[in-house]
Structure 1
Amino acid sequence: MKVKIALAVLIIAGIFFLSLGRILPERANRFVEISLTATDIARLARENNLDHWQLVQRLAALGVGSVVVAETTIAELESTGRLTSFFPPDIGRLKMLDLIEPGSPVNSASILTRDKSLAVQIKEVLEKRYSILSNLQIIGQRQPYYLLKFTEFFPEIRDLPVGADPAQVDFFHRAGLKVGLLLKNTGRPDCLPEILKNLDRVLPEKNEVFGWTTADHSRDIFLLGNFLLTNKILFCDFEFNSVAGRDYLLKNFPGVCLRSHLISASEYKSGLDFSQVARRIRRAIRERNVRLVLINLPERIPAELIFNWLRGLVRDISKDGFLVESARPAPFLSPGFLSLRKFFGFCLLLFGPFLGWYYGQKTGKISALSRYLLINFITLLVGILLGIVGTDIQFQQNITSLSGLKLATFGCFLGGIFWLFSFSEIKRWLSQPLIVGWLVALGLAGIVITYWLWRSGNTGIPLPGEIFVREWLENCFYVRPRFKEFLLGQPALFLGLVYNQKWLLLVGLVGQISVMNTFAHFHTPLWLSILRTLVGIFLGLGLGVVIQYGRKKLRK
């Protein structure tokens, strides 16, 4: 007996110390970054008649940590007066009007600007990214101008992305903000030093990582990942967004990943309001390890309303135990043995819920409450062990996931039937004549099981009423317990142990399977899964006690 107790203590201590390898880094990475787009900030200043510089400083003081800018083009730079281009047919009209003197260094394919850094950037990007050659000359007597003369004219040159506007990047850096670039997947990656110079974040534009090509994406994305890692630039990996080349980049360069969440402008048109945005952001930060939130602002909103909302959002995020400042990359690497981890994780999902049952059945001399707590304690330990298996960035960034999750769920439930009921009991039940009541009950059971399997894992869309209850539970308990546990599985398990009813014990197995599925959500912090499970255990116990007490009252 002493040997068994010592072995149990050793196993519990081992699981506890192994879990710290995941819990401590997760708790240490508490830095959350709020990001806005440069376009939204400019529009907000324009709509509210605010000074652009003062607005940016105000946003930085409220907690905004970074700004996302888009790649600019020669046409866009010309529209802002940053440069002047001389391309056909404009150059011909200027010569006809004698606005260009004979012998002028300006030719029929040239660009003129007073900004040296801009001229150098355009020259290097066009040459390395698109193989468009040019010569840089300094002209002017009183004030230097920088002239780019192209060896030949390309009609599409005006609309080619040439990186971020260096003046815009410097503007936001002077306000103390990080700057991210929406990087378009065009051209070769040899231009990375020029495109990403002085930048802090990279975001994929549309649905492709820069460097992704159907021919040799691995080489080009490797160049991008190596450059990001060397220069400490973070790649913003937006959840729920399918991006070609993203998996290859994160598998090989996990240290550059910054798990991110996007609030898009189109969502406001579908009825999303600021209170819902705040709840969604807090849930993403708490439950899915999101560390950067890019918020697109709706149009025609008073600036003071935005300021007050940001102030409240930062306050709520701080109450949740996070720090609103520059984000850090994910703390986990990929230790390898991925196939072995997947196999072990599948075995835990399939057999884990039975371990608590087995010891709960063997210890029949103790009270139903003690057996209930023992069963859940064992399942919780196995769930933590499953969470330890998922200590890998490929799991936590949803690059890969456990295979056969729904198969394990169904197999475990089916195994529970044969565990509790003998073949003679099952045969006797199947031999009974079918009546309308049984058919209705079987139909309802089939619908419930189908919905349960559909919602198992990381997929499935909650019902509208369920969303309201979820938010209420989060406000009450910080983290929402799973419905399948505290409303169904755990009360049924307790009542099944009290009254020794096999059907209730079978329904109670649903709660144990749900606990294991909770820990299979590897993108959720392990400590939060533990807290969610504990809340479900004690809420379910409370509901079971209330039902037991009510039954006693009714029988009297």
Structure 2
Amino acid sequence: MKLKVMLVAVIILSVIVSIYVDVARIGVENKYDTVEIVADLYNFENLSANTGNDISNILKEMKANGLKGVAVPEVSLKRLRDTGKISLNTMSDVQNIYTLIGKTDNEAVTQYLRNITDRQKEIQCNFLIVTTRDRDTFDFLKNSLSRRVPQDKLTILEKNKDYAFIINEPMDTFSDQGLGFDVKDLNMVKALGFDVIPRVENFNGIKDRDIENYIKLLKNYDTKTVIFGGNDVLGNMEKISYAASQFKKNGITVGIIDTPMGKKLQSGIEKFTKFDGYRGLKVYGLSEKETQKYDINDIVDRWYRSIIERNVRIIYMRAKVDDLKTPAYNMKQNITAMKQLNTLVDYAGLKTGIAKPMGVIHQSKIIEVLIAVGVVAGGILLLLSFGLKEVPALILTIATTVLTAAVLLTRFNDLGIKTVALAASIIFPSLGIVYFVNSSNGLINNKEQKGFISVSLKIFIKAVLISFVGGLMIAAIMADSKYMLKLDYFRGVKLSFTIPVLIFAIYYCYKVFKIDNFKKFINTSVKILNMDIKIWHMLAAAAAALICIIYISRTGNSPLIKPSSIELKFRDFLEHYLVARPRTKEFLFGYPALILAVYAAIKKSKGWNFILGIFASIGILSAPNTMSHVESVLTMAIERTVYGWIFGAIIGVIAVVIIERLVRFANNLLKRGALL
């Protein structure tokens, strides 16, 4: 008994520390409150072409309706080709023309082909040939390509006013690679009064002076935020620390592109932000294909959900252009999208403007250890519930505490944090479930018929609060910029969803069905195996299997079964009116099942108490899972949890009242039938 008191005291200390950290985290999140809509400059040229209006006029109109920033990508060979500044071909295509008519439309290339052997032509057939007659374009490419392409892979040709480059690189990848910025684009965006957000791209062989030139250009345009283009960050891999130090020195923030859980981030982004002190802000945008696929309401819903659920603060906007609609319609729908988002941002209590980076937050290792010992204490309490004796429990407590502290205080700290968070997501819901089972067992064995509303609400509140303790600990021990910016994240979602439910089944058999030793387990198993299987047994088993498959497949970072369109619309409805939308499985299934399970216990029905208890377990474990999404705003996670409790309890009580009345009505009918 003394050990239990000590363990509870340790948990209380850990909860106090967790609340202290969570309050500090909320303070950081509250200052990260400005949402910025940023347009992709080159993508918006599609809208310019569709409307026949100059791109600068398009941007002015967008600015008047809420556009704050413009992202300017680096120029690529494909971009230069599409704008008519260069011709881009493979050597084989040019050779075919040369073979057919004895020359090409570029004197420099013609002269080059005359001077190489057939063997050289064969070797170079897949090389790229870039031709131009524009001196400025030639100078730009000469400077850019000389820094990005090794000397043995680049040939520069010039004859009269014909210029050409022969490049030993693949067309499908190199033609999209950034080659530097067109200063005319940057000047235009700056002159229009926008927040200029360059999309800087890394390249092989980048040197310190190249990074310094980028920094000089960024400072010249008063750049506050950079969103890296391409697949990796500036300086990756050899020069990443130098690039990050220059960003930090000059106060330039990195935009971290939001990706689905488990999907690959831009290569090097976690390391870059680590060198930069984990300064950054989240960026979300639909691809061009997705933008054309979804209607405006769907697009805005996805933007809004990324803001309130994943702490995104830059919405990267691509223009939606429908060639079957009028130019006026296309202009209007893009303006409408911005206006709708601005309204929703204001409704969510946030501001629109130039986005600021999230404040840096880290926890000391001592704080992490204090939180972790509370999780250890919870785990020992859980084992004591299954009959572990005090002496081995004490030894296990000391050993586990020492091991956990050792892991957290060493270079394995990151692994330790994730392990403690996962343990908290399993242990405290399981403790809530154990309390629920113990209470149900007491009601089943109590001869008195107690009022279900007060009893069920009391058990409901205590069970969910015990589980909620685990959520507070997860939110605190993972209250770090790395997790809040989703550069790393909570692992083991499926385990946290399934193990507590399994613990419920095992503990229910142990506590209620009194299967407390191996012999009883074998005897019960034999009885079950010897049962006469009826059709309804098979149907019930099939239904249970289907529910389990759906439940497991809908959990985790990449659910196999996606929500239906009706469910998505229902979610959107709740998000628009509550902002912090409670989880469907909580307030429609899990929490009402908890109330109904208590009602079944009051009515002495072990069978229904057990069946409903399975669904009740899903509700009890949900709060820590919600708070394990550390990239979400903590106040939002708490609000949605409380909403789930309130709605779930109300639905559960209403369901019990209806069932109680239906039972009474059925009993009255039976009595009348007996009298007749």
Which TM-score band (shorter chain)?
0.7 to 0.9
- How does the TM-score come out when normalised to structure 1? 0.81
Alpha-carbon distance change, 194 to 6 in structure 1, aligned in 2, over 3 angstroms: closer
* Structure exhibiting the larger radius of gyration computed from Cα positions: 2
- How does the TM-score come out when normalised to structure 2? 0.68
How much has 1:281 moved relative to structure 2? Answer: 0.7
Q: Is the contact made by 1:397 and 1:523 (CA closer than 8 Å) also made in structure 2? A: yes
Alpha-carbon distance change, 93 to 288 in structure 1, aligned in 2, over 3 angstroms: closer
Q: Is the contact made by 1:66 and 1:179 (CA closer than 8 Å) also made in structure 2? A: yes
Q: Does 1:230 align with 2:249?
A: yes
In 2, the alpha carbon distance for the partners of 1:361 and 1:441 equals: 23
* 1:469 matched residue in structure 2: 570
Q: Does 1:356 align with 2:410?
A: no
Amino acid at match of 1:273: D
Alignment of 1:138-217 (within 5 A): 154-156=165-167, 161-190=178-207, 191-195=210-214, 197-198=217-218, 200=223, 201-212=225-236, 217=237
- Deviation per CA, 1:327-367: give whole Å up to 9, x if none: 12233455572122112112111211123344556776972
Q: Number of residues paired by the alignment?
A: 514
How much has 1:171 moved relative to structure 2? Answer: 1.2
Question: In structure 1, the residue corresponding to 2:167 is in which secondary structure?
Answer: helix
Q: Does 1:316 align with 2:335?
A: no
* 1:305 matched residue in structure 2: 333
Alignment of 1:471-510 (within 5 A): 471-500=572-601, 501-510=609-618
* 2:390 matched residue in structure 1: none
- The more displaced of 301-310 and 482-491 is 301-310
Question: In structure 2, the residue corresponding to 1:236 is in which secondary structure?
Answer: strand
Alpha-carbon distance change, 81 to 6 in structure 1, aligned in 2, over 3 angstroms: closer
How much has 1:429 moved relative to structure 2? Answer: 4.7
In 2, the alpha carbon distance for the partners of 1:279 and 1:483 equals: 18
* 2:18 matched residue in structure 1: 15
- The more displaced of 301-310 and 459-468 is 301-310
- Deviation per CA, 1:166-187: give whole Å up to 9, x if none: 1211111122212233344433
Q: Give % identity.
A: 20
How much has 1:400 moved relative to structure 2? Answer: 3.1
How much has 1:81 moved relative to structure 2? Answer: 9.6
Q: Is the contact made by 1:262 and 1:294 (CA closer than 8 Å) also made in structure 2? A: yes
Question: In structure 2, the residue corresponding to 1:376 is in which secondary structure?
Answer: helix
Give 1:221's match in structure 2, choosing from 235, 240, 256. 240
Alpha-carbon distance change, 304 to 547 in structure 1, aligned in 2, over 3 angstroms: closer
Q: Is the contact made by 1:173 and 1:179 (CA closer than 8 Å) also made in structure 2? A: yes
Q: Is the contact made by 2:585 and 2:619 (CA closer than 8 Å) also made in structure 1? A: yes
Question: In structure 2, the residue corresponding to 1:32 is in which secondary structure?
Answer: strand
Alpha-carbon distance change, 178 to 193 in structure 1, aligned in 2, over 3 angstroms: farther
* 2:282 matched residue in structure 1: 259
* 1:285 matched residue in structure 2: 307
Alpha-carbon distance change, 110 to 52 in structure 1, aligned in 2, over 3 angstroms: closer
How much has 1:549 moved relative to structure 2? Answer: 0.7
Question: In structure 2, the residue corresponding to 1:456 is in which secondary structure?
Answer: coil
Q: Does 1:437 align with 2:536?
A: yes
Give 1:542's match in structure 2, choosing from 650, 654, 657. 650
Question: In structure 1, the residue corresponding to 2:35 is in which secondary structure?
Answer: strand
- The more displaced of 299-308 and 311-320 is 299-308
In 1, the alpha carbon distance for the partners of 2:529 and 2:615 equals: 19
In 2, the alpha carbon distance for the partners of 1:318 and 1:514 equals: 29
* 1:105 matched residue in structure 2: none
In 2, the alpha carbon distance for the partners of 1:261 and 1:401 equals: 17
Alpha-carbon distance change, 385 to 6 in structure 1, aligned in 2, over 3 angstroms: closer
In 1, the alpha carbon distance for the partners of 2:110 and 2:552 equals: 71
Q: Is the contact made by 1:386 and 1:520 (CA closer than 8 Å) also made in structure 2? A: yes
Q: Does 1:390 align with 2:412?
A: no
Amino acid at match of 2:554: R
* 1:296 matched residue in structure 2: 318
Amino acid at match of 1:186: F
In 2, the alpha carbon distance for the partners of 1:522 and 1:128 equals: 41
Give 1:370's match in structure 2, choosing from 433, 458, 465. 458
In 1, the alpha carbon distance for the partners of 2:577 and 2:597 equals: 28
* 1:401 matched residue in structure 2: 489
How much has 1:520 moved relative to structure 2? Answer: 1.5
In 1, the alpha carbon distance for the partners of 2:303 and 2:248 equals: 27
In 1, the alpha carbon distance for the partners of 2:568 and 2:613 equals: 29
Alpha-carbon distance change, 183 to 507 in structure 1, aligned in 2, over 3 angstroms: same
Alpha-carbon distance change, 532 to 431 in structure 1, aligned in 2, over 3 angstroms: farther
Q: Does 1:342 align with 2:418?
A: yes
How much has 1:206 moved relative to structure 2? Answer: 4.2
In 1, the alpha carbon distance for the partners of 2:623 and 2:84 equals: 61
* 2:505 matched residue in structure 1: 417
In 1, the alpha carbon distance for the partners of 2:470 and 2:415 equals: 19
Question: In structure 2, the residue corresponding to 1:536 is in which secondary structure?
Answer: helix
Alpha-carbon distance change, 469 to 259 in structure 1, aligned in 2, over 3 angstroms: same
- Deviation per CA, 1:34-76: give whole Å up to 9, x if none: 1111123333334334344343233223221221222225896
Alpha-carbon distance change, 440 to 76 in structure 1, aligned in 2, over 3 angstroms: closer
5+ residue gaps, structure 2, are: 88-103, 112-130, 153-157, 169-173, 366-412, 444-453, 602-608, 665-676
How much has 1:268 moved relative to structure 2? Answer: 4.0
Question: In structure 2, the residue corresponding to 1:189 is in which secondary structure?
Answer: coil
Q: Is the contact made by 1:518 and 1:529 (CA closer than 8 Å) also made in structure 2? A: yes
In 2, the alpha carbon distance for the partners of 1:391 and 1:89 equals: 62
In 2, the alpha carbon distance for the partners of 1:471 and 1:78 equals: 43
In 1, the alpha carbon distance for the partners of 2:280 and 2:554 equals: 28
Amino acid at match of 1:329: P
Alpha-carbon distance change, 459 to 161 in structure 1, aligned in 2, over 3 angstroms: closer
Alpha-carbon distance change, 169 to 341 in structure 1, aligned in 2, over 3 angstroms: same
- Deviation per CA, 1:241-280: give whole Å up to 9, x if none: 633333433444353432111122212443x101111111
In 1, the alpha carbon distance for the partners of 2:428 and 2:507 equals: 14
In 1, the alpha carbon distance for the partners of 2:58 and 2:133 equals: 36
How much has 1:316 moved relative to structure 2? Answer: 2.0
How much has 1:291 moved relative to structure 2? Answer: 1.0
* 2:469 matched residue in structure 1: 381
